[in-house]
């Protein structure tokens, strides 16, 4: 059910500025900044040979990551994302195993244009987990 690591997300105050550090230091490919109003964030992806790093910054004061940034002013790892072949089957299996899906349990379209869901960090050793249908 669980596929490859899709990305690690780092929450920051300025996603473009943070991503440029990776571009300069490692010669990594950097995407354009993309606002995702439905998720309340702006994303910038850094593509590495085996995965991606997603820099997310709050989009407006009601952003779900605003409090995270307040607690972690310099930024920090926010979540990890794994690919799944069938997000509904993955959701149902995870719920059956006792995991809690955040929100209403209905997948939303994520930054890659694919359905995503988030899983409660208390169910995954303190890590907020995102699953994305590949």
Q: How many Cα atoms sit within 13 Å of 31 on the Cβ side?
A: 18
Give the H or E element holding residue 94: helix 87-96
* 75 phi and psi angles, rounded to 5 deg: 95, 175
Q: What is the DSSP letter of 101?
A: B
Task: Specify whether 130 is catalytic.
Answer: yes
Structure-token match 């379209």, residue found: 109
Annotated active-site residue in 38, 54, 130, 132: 130
As annotated, the active-site residues are: 130
């Amino acid at each position: 059910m669980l596929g490859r690591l899709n990305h690690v997300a780092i929450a920051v105050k300025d996603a473009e500025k943070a991503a440029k550090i990776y571009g300069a230091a490692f010669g990594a490919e950097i995407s354009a900044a993309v606002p995702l109003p439905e998720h309340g964030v702006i994303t910038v992806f850094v593509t590495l040979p085996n995965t991606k790093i997603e820099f997310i910054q709050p989009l407006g004061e009601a952003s779900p990551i605003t409090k995270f940034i307040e607690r972690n002013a310099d930024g920090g790892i926010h979540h990890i994302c794994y690919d799944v072949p069938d997000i509904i089957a993955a959701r149902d299996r995870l719920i059956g195993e006792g995991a809690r899906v955040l929100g209403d349990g209905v997948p939303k379209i994520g930054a890659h244009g694919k359905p995503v869901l988030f899983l409660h960090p208390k169910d995954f050793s303190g890590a907020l987990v995102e699953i994305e249908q590949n």
